[in-house]
Structure 1
Amino acid sequence: MTERPAPGLRERKKARTRKLIQSEALRLFREQGFAATTMEQVAAAAEVATSTVFRYFPTKEDLVLMDHLPAFVDALTSAPAELGPVQAVRLALRATVAGQDPAERAEGLERERMMLTVPELWASSLDNVTGVVATMRGILAARAGREPDDPDVRNITGAVLGVLLAVWFDAVRRPEVDLATEADRALSQLEGLRLE
């Protein structure tokens, strides 16, 4: 895997501000509900201007949407070429989870639960899932030297995402389920699928 240069001071400061805003928003959503929380309240809790909140998160829904896709995309893109598509996805998921500290994993699970249980977030969640599907399909196609609209690429991507969504829904209903472990176990049952 290619190492990226360490982010500069400005980028680190932006990342801290973004994380603080999102953490405060999640706390407020938990305490008073998604619908009852305003962007102004989020700004006050994070001790930033409302315009700063909107700069990082153009909509209130964006405060909840997952943002670990870049780490997953990097890991999937750089997975060894000899791995089949499901093996590459499993490796990328493991690398993404390993790159998060326990607080980040807990916050991610809280956001995932909100995306599935707060009606106002459904449309944004579906847009997010659609983007993940297109991204994964493109990467798996490129790894196999195929086009993203190839039926085999579509089918394998659909099988992988179907399993991940099923695990995701289960983990939201049953908090004791370890999402990362269960996703890895479930995907192991698909490992025979290949793009030949």
Structure 2
Amino acid sequence: MAAELTQGLRERKKASTRRKIRTEAFRLFRKQGYAETTVDQIAAAAKVSSRTFFRYFQNKEQVVLDDDLDPLLVRMVVMQPAGLSVTAAFRAAAEQLALDPPEEQFEADRLRLLYTEPELRGGAMTELRRNIDLLSQVIAQRSDREPSDRQVRMFAGACVGALLSVTDELPDELDYALQVLDFFDAGMPL
């Protein structure tokens, strides 16, 4: 990703180690199942110690829960010109968010696991609430409203709900997100 170009060597090494742990964890989850995979197995597959694993992730659940795209997307939305509507700013940011195919597939796998694995359901609900709070902050900032404004929260919840409704249809989440924005802009005609 573009953000990696501005990072120093230490940050790139940390990002590489974190990515390796996640990649190996997801490979093991696909091979033997989430519940059957242990932190020690993930660490061994990633060729790091269990102690190193815990420097990057609080627990196995966090490997799936951590969302690396949301903070990047939010920064991109905030950087959009002030005159753009909320949906136009999100659309522009989403179109600028360039993921390569492995990153797209990883995100699709992460979301699918997050919303289908029984052990992750509690964390998934926390993640949904976090996403709504995060979107509410950005929407409020762009619309000169408060994050607690009921309409701001409803819009944020509608965005999150629309994406959640097609978890099984990913990996083309970006295309679907753009369709959701088009649907919102059209006044949600049914």
State yes or no: 1:165 paired with 2:159.
no
Alpha-carbon shift at residue 56 of structure 1 (Å): 0.5
CA contact (8 A) 1:72 1:95 kept: no
Q: Identity over aligned residues, as a percent?
A: 40
What's the C-alpha RMSD, in Å, of the aligned pairs? 1.9
Alpha-carbon shift at residue 26 of structure 1 (Å): 0.3
1:14-43 deviation line (CA, Å, top 9, x unaligned): 000000000000000110111111100011
One-letter identity of the residue aligned with 1:77: V
State yes or no: 1:181 paired with 2:175.
yes
The worse-fitting range, judged by mean Cα deviation, of 77-86 and 114-123 is 77-86
Determine helix, strand or coil for the equivalent of 1:189. Answer: helix
Aligned ranges for residues 1-196 of structure 1 at < 5 Å?
Answer: 6-65=6-65, 66-96=67-97, 98=98, 100-168=99-167, 172=168, 174=169, 178-191=172-185
| Ranges in structure 2 where 5+ consecutive residues have no aligned partner | none
**Which stretches of structure 1, 4 residues or longer, exceed 4 Å deviation after superposition?**
none
The normalised TM-score by structure 1 is: 0.86
Give the whole-Å Cα distance in 1 for the aligned partners of 2:52 and 2:4.
Answer: 27
One-letter identity of the residue aligned with 2:76: A
The worse-fitting range, judged by mean Cα deviation, of 181-190 and 24-33 is 181-190
| Ranges in structure 1 where 5+ consecutive residues have no aligned partner | none
Give the whole-Å Cα distance in 1 for the aligned partners of 2:27 and 2:63.
Answer: 11
The normalised TM-score by structure 2 is: 0.89
Task: Give the structure, 1 or 2, with the largest relative contact order (CA under 8 Å, sep 6 or more).
Answer: 1
Alpha-carbon shift at residue 184 of structure 1 (Å): 1.0
Q: How many residues align?
A: 184
> 1:140–1:4: structure 2 CA closer, same or farther, 3 Å change rule?
farther
